Amino acid sequence: MVKLMAASSKLWPIVTVPIENESDVVAVRQRAHRVADMLGFERQDQTRIATAVSELARNAYGYAGGGRAEFILDAATTPQRFAIRICDNGPGIDNLQLILDGQYRSPSGMGLGLIGARRLMDTFSIDSNPGKGTTVEVGHKLPLRVAPWPRAKLTDIVSSLKKETSSDPLAALREQNRELMQNLEELRRREEESQQLNQELGDTNRGVVALYAELDGRAEQLRQASELKTRFLSNMSHEFRTPLNSVLALSRLLLDRIDGDLTPEQERQVGYIRRSAESLLDLVNDMLDLAKVEAGKAEIKPVRFAVTSLFGALRGALRPLLTSTAVELLFESPKDLPPLCTDEAKVAQILRNLISNALKFTEEGEVRVTARTGDNGASVVFSVRDTGIGIAPEHHERIFEEFSQVDTKLQRKVKGTGLGLPLSRSLARLLGGDLTVESGQGQGSVFSLKIPASLGEPGREMLTRSADDSKSVLLIDDDETFRYVMRQIVGNETRYDFIEADGGEEGLRLAREKKPDVIVLDLQMPAVDGFTVLQQLAADDRTNGIPIVVSTSMTIDASLRSRLPEHVRLISKNAISRESVSSFLRDAVQGVS
């Protein structure tokens, strides 16, 4: 049994309507509609209230033989509540809970009326006992826009209701028909709005699907473009580096006075040529290194080294960049910093880029390089601090984008490619760390490189031995300029006899005939390439014991090494000099792989 709300002084009666015949049922509906209108309910709520009350009044008359309807304003709630209480002295309702649960219908249809009224109204309560009648109370909260009614003002509604004439059944039916037509029109309008909304949603969904398809297509295009760029840079490494290596090697020959003295003017000109070639080679190397990192083909070679040794090497290598006495380059050797085990070459490359940039953009003051431990010794943090022009906060991420530069007067003076910082950050992340910046306009900059202190066990060191005298060297290379450079270098070494071939087929013939002590072989040649030469040399008993040095402009990585026999020694053409040639020839003759 559902309990009725207890009586309260805040329950203000408005009007009571007897329910003794069919006309009274219509009158109760009209009164409910009218009072709801006077209290400020919207038209739709008026209809809901009138319909619920009409169903309950019809139950009271048809099932209990009559009763009364009490209209009340409940001022105890916020907002106030319009309540209607339908009372009868009938036989009461058996199976009340089954009816309320929707599991029972009485022959008179009372179950449907009760359930419908409960659904239409905000509140619903019922008290019914066999032989003692039934009282049903329903209520609907006043709209929030309606100010609370004072009890004194409620008398105006009571007075207006008393002046109105008694109900006319035909007028009530006409009013119900009018309300029904309005409701049908409202439903039709809402159905049209729903159809229009569904159509708009469908169009939007089709647009979203098309957009996703376009985005997927663009993403695939970008992925293919990125792969194409990486393949292009990798495949062009030989074409990029070979002529530059030749220019550098030729300028080295001239500066070493191998073919005679130079005049001061000639030496200055050759110096310009060499510096320009070095700058261009740096750009090419940065592009290739960045492409290799992006393609996931960069190798990490951990070695154990001391930071003080690294700082010493950097100090000597970068001191020539100090073109002004107004700027000082300082290295703070860390105290009690244990040796690191990571890729020293990549760490040095990152720091060289950072220090070089700091010197470029610092006109006076200092560039200070420091190192410290972090994360309880698990990491090391290198910092490059300068007193230069600084970087505005809105450009902090932009400087790490490829080919992106901040436009300043000093930037236009020093120029640059915009690859150093993107490459440095990529290398830092490859080492398991990151590169960050703290800076403000005109306040200098601090670039911080944080990396793990250890990346695993270092690789084994290679041994060197002394070489025998009077050895023959066969160079197989289709690049005439490189053969000239090697001829000039090796030809000046009295302990070597120099033989050259301009292609793979000629090189194989000379190798079988001359049986040289060492072969220097290029990989990328027309007709018969270096890989084919290696296979045929290994398959021939006359040549399979000859030490081989592969000199190449290709990127030397794990992929390339996997294609070569283990005994083959690799040397980059970028590293060709008198000292390096003597070293790798000596090692190759002694069988060092």
Ramachandran region, residue 80 (left: φ > 0; alpha: ψ -120 to 50; beta: rest) = beta
Same domain, residue pair 371 and 488: no
The β-bridge partners of 15 are 71
Please say if the pLDDT value at position 309 is more than 60. Answer: yes
Indicate whether 351 belongs to any domain. Answer: yes
pLDDT at site 593: 39
Q: Residue 555: pLDDT above 90?
A: no
Parallel, antiparallel or unpaired: strands 123-128 and 134-141: antiparallel
Are 415 and 525 contained in the same domain?
no
H or E segment and range at residue 118: helix 110-120
Q: Is the pLDDT of residue 413 over 60?
A: no
432 and 329 in one domain?
yes
Question: CATH number, domain at 86?
Answer: 3.30.565.10
**Can you tell me the mean pLDDT for 144-154?**
90
Task: Show which of 167, 188, 223 is a domain's final residue.
Answer: 167
Asked if residue 499 is part of any domain, the answer here is yes
Q: Does residue 284 lie in a domain region? A: no
- pLDDT, mean of residues 14-33: 89
- Boundary (domain end) residue, out of 407, 423, 452: 452
Domain end position, chosen among 419, 452, 485 = 452
Residues 57 and 123 in one domain: yes
- The residue with greater pLDDT, 344 or 110, is 344
Is residue 156 scored above 90 in pLDDT? no
The least confident of 253-262, 500-509, 511-520 is 253-262
Per-residue confidence (pLDDT) for residue 178, from 0 to 100: 66
Read off the tokens for 75: 């001022």
Q: Which domain holds residue 424?
A: 303-452
Asked if the model's pLDDT at residue 2 lies above 60, the reply is no
Domain count, the chain: 3
Which residues, in sequence order, are CB contacts of 560 under 8 Å at separation 6+?
A: 552, 554, 570
End-to-end CA distance of the chain: 97
> What are the distances in angstroms from CA 576 to CA 249, 367, 585?
7, 33, 12
| Structural domain contains residue 253 | no
Q: Picking from 334-338, 399-403, 535-539, which range would have the lowest pLDDT averaged per residue?
A: 399-403
406 & 539 share domain: no
In a domain, 6, yes or no: no
Same domain, 163 and 23: yes
- Cβ atoms of residues 43 and 182 within 8 Å: yes
Average pLDDT, the chain: 81
Q: Going by DSSP bridges, is the β-strand pair 11-19/434-439 parallel, antiparallel, or unpaired?
A: unpaired
Give the pLDDT confidence score for residue 85 in this predicted structure: 95
Residues 335, 431 within the same domain: yes
**CATH at residue 510:** 3.40.50.2300
Write the pLDDT tens digit of every residue in 174-215: 666 666 666 677 777 888 888 888 888 877 777 777 777 787
Q: Are residues 372 and 486 located together in one domain of the fold? A: no
Q: Is residue 185 part of a domain?
A: no
- Give a yes or no: residue 221 inside a domain: no
**431 and 577 housed in the same domain:** no
Mean pLDDT, to the nearest integer, of 355-366? 88
The pLDDT value given to residue 419 = 76
User: Is residue 485 located within the same domain as residue 429?
Assistant: no
The confidence band for 484, taking pLDDT boundaries of 50, 70 and 90, is confident
> Are 153 and 35 contained in the same domain?
yes
What pLDDT is stored for residue 258 in this prediction?
Answer: 78
337 and 424 housed in the same domain: yes
Task: For 50-83, write each residue's pLDDT tens digit.
Answer: 989 998 998 899 888 899 999 999 999 999 999 9
Do the domain assignments include residue 229? no
Contact in structure between 388 and 447 (CB atoms under 8 Å): no
Token pair, residue 542, equals 């006359």
Angstrom distance (rounded) from CA 317 to CA 311: 10
Q: Is the pLDDT of residue 417 over 70?
A: no
The model's confidence at residue 5, banded by pLDDT at 50, 70 and 90, is very low
Give the range among 22-36, 214-228, 473-487 with minimum mean pLDDT.
214-228
